[in-house]
Amino acid sequence: MKLPVTAYGETGSPVVVMHGLFGSGRNWMTAARRLADRHRVFALDLRNHGTSPHVATMSYPEMADDVRETIESLGVGPVALVGHSMGGKTAMLTALRYPAAVERLVVVDAAPVAYPPAFVEYARAMRTADLSSVTRRAEVDAQLADAVPTPGTRAFLLQNLILDSDGARWRPNLPVIEAALPAISGWPAVEGLHYDGPTLFIYGGKSDYVQQDHRVTIATYFPHVQYAEVPEAGHWVHAERLDDFLAALTPFLP
């Protein structure tokens, strides 16, 4: 499936960026604009997120196929492929399965491992919110508060809420995303595959998604790996510490 793309910049080497769970290409807007002075940047909406079509299934192999097809349709490959969290796992699998499409790989706060299932409460709270008479975003914020106690996280999730003359509705395909969360938290079987291109893992110093004991596993898939820590960042590295994130990323890009 070819994914929706937002393009930034007109010259320079191609960089494809991908968001995490409950995100969209819009999450990369500020970073993409900063990168666009030296690169052509393409921000994707992964399946069932953003403006992408709603489809019935959502596995990493399917998402990697989507990314390959989209890169081929752009006619700009091979690309520097950058992905955060769920997008980082998608980027890793794309590089492993379709290395000809990926000139270099950047993974932001994710590792090729299975994490404990997370965000189920978020997905369920969004899906079951009563939107029938909603006229203000604050009304939905109040409905999410028990399941999502952190205001900043609720604000991030509420970016997915559409409020217009037709009423209120969610942009992502929440039932499919909720059903796919065990697979999204996991990592597919890819024994025997490795990616020989330059690889950079950028991770937040306050996050536990990339741990020291993950590095042996990472090296089996990505033998030419480098690491960059952003000490003051949590999981949303590029949103929390954009300048530090770009300082780690830009020297790695061609």
Separation between Cα atoms, residue 238 and residue 245, nearest integer Å:
6
Cβ distance 1 to 64 under 8 Å? Answer: no
Q: What is the pLDDT of residue 16?
A: 98
Question: Can you say whether residue 109 is alpha, beta or left, with left for phi > 0 and alpha for psi between -120 and 50 degrees?
Answer: left
DSSP state of 93: H
Q: What is the pLDDT of residue 77?
A: 84
As averages over each run of 10 residues, the pLDDT of the chain (254 residues) reads 97 97 95 97 98 97 98 95 98 98 98 91 94 94 94 93 93 96 94 96 97 97 98 94 98 96
Cβ distance 201 to 107 under 8 Å? Answer: yes
- DSSP-derived secondary structure for 25-68: GGGGHHHHHHHTTTEEEEEE--TTSTTSPP-S---HHHHHHHHH
Q: What is the pLDDT of residue 118?
A: 80
The answer regarding whether domain 5-115+186-252 maps to CATH 3.40.50.1820 reads: yes
Q: What is the pLDDT of residue 137?
A: 95
DSSP state of 81: E
* pTM for the structure as a whole: 0.96
Give the distance from CA 155 to its chain's centroid: 17
Residue intervals in the chain for CATH 3.40.50.1820: 5-115+186-252
Q: Which residues pair with 206 in a beta bridge?
A: none
Q: What is the pLDDT of residue 47?
A: 98
Q: What is the pLDDT of residue 191?
A: 85
**Beta-carbon count within 10 A of 164 CB:** 7
Q: Identify which of 195, 202, 197, 196 has the alpha carbon closest to the alpha carbon of residue 251.
A: 202
Stated as kind and residue range, the H or E segment containing 239 is helix 237-240
